[in-house]
Each structure stands twice: as structure tokens, then as C-alpha cells.
Amino acid sequence: TQLLEQSPQFLSIQEGENLTVYCNSSSVFSSLQWYRQEPGEGPVLLVTVVTGGEVKKLKRLTFQFGDARKDSSLHITAAQPGDTGLYLCAGALSGAGSYQLTFGKGTKLSVIP
């Protein structure tokens, strides 16, 4: 059972369109991060959200953490080909010895020029 479910798995859109990807869990996370990974490279940290209901903006990217801290979304406005990549969410669970992040399987985004 995957602790963090991401949807959709694949998304192919035209340049200029808007899109939203989701990260859902039945567990409460202390904090949650979004990473973007390009082919042949490691994931790059985009943002960390901590407070339930928190919204963070990074240029055309908007990240939201659910009120109950069990889910998150990433919205991209006017997608560009440079946004192409694998988007991963990862969460930190509270508790003693929590020295690991739990990752979703990712949403593979292709933005067609």
C-alpha cells in the first residue's frame, strides 16, 4: 500500500494550459514537500509546506497543504515546456525515529510546445 498517492500518474498538455496534480494520504504528515525530477537527474526541492491550509506560490506554481495535513496539491498556471518533468510529493511523519521521507510515485508531466 502506497502511503502517498499521486494523481494523475501521467499528464500531457499543451503549452499555456493550466493543470493541477494531487497528493493524497490517509495519514497526517508533519510537513510535506514537492520535488521536480528531470530525466537522468535527481529530484530538486521546490517547496516545503508545514501548516494545514497553507498556500505557497513560486512564480507560476501554487502549492497547497490540506487543512487536515493529509493531502496537497500543485497547480501550474500557463504551463511551459520547461515545466516538463516528474513531480514528486514527499512527507515527513511525526514520531520518534522518523529519519526518512515517504515519497509518492509521482506525476509525469509533459508540456507540448
Binding site for another protein (CB under 8 A): 30-31, 33, 35, 40-45, 48, 50-51, 88, 90, 92-94, 97-106
17 and 79 Cβ atoms separated by less than 8 Å? yes
Contact residues for 56 (Cβ-Cβ < 8 A; gap 6+): 47, 49, 62, 63, 64
* Least CB distance to another protein at residue 97 (A): 6
Cβ distance to another protein smaller for residue 11 or 90: 90
Contact residues for 99 (Cβ-Cβ < 8 A; gap 6+): none
* Least CB distance to another protein at residue 4 (A): 9
Cβ distance to another protein smaller for residue 14 or 100: 100
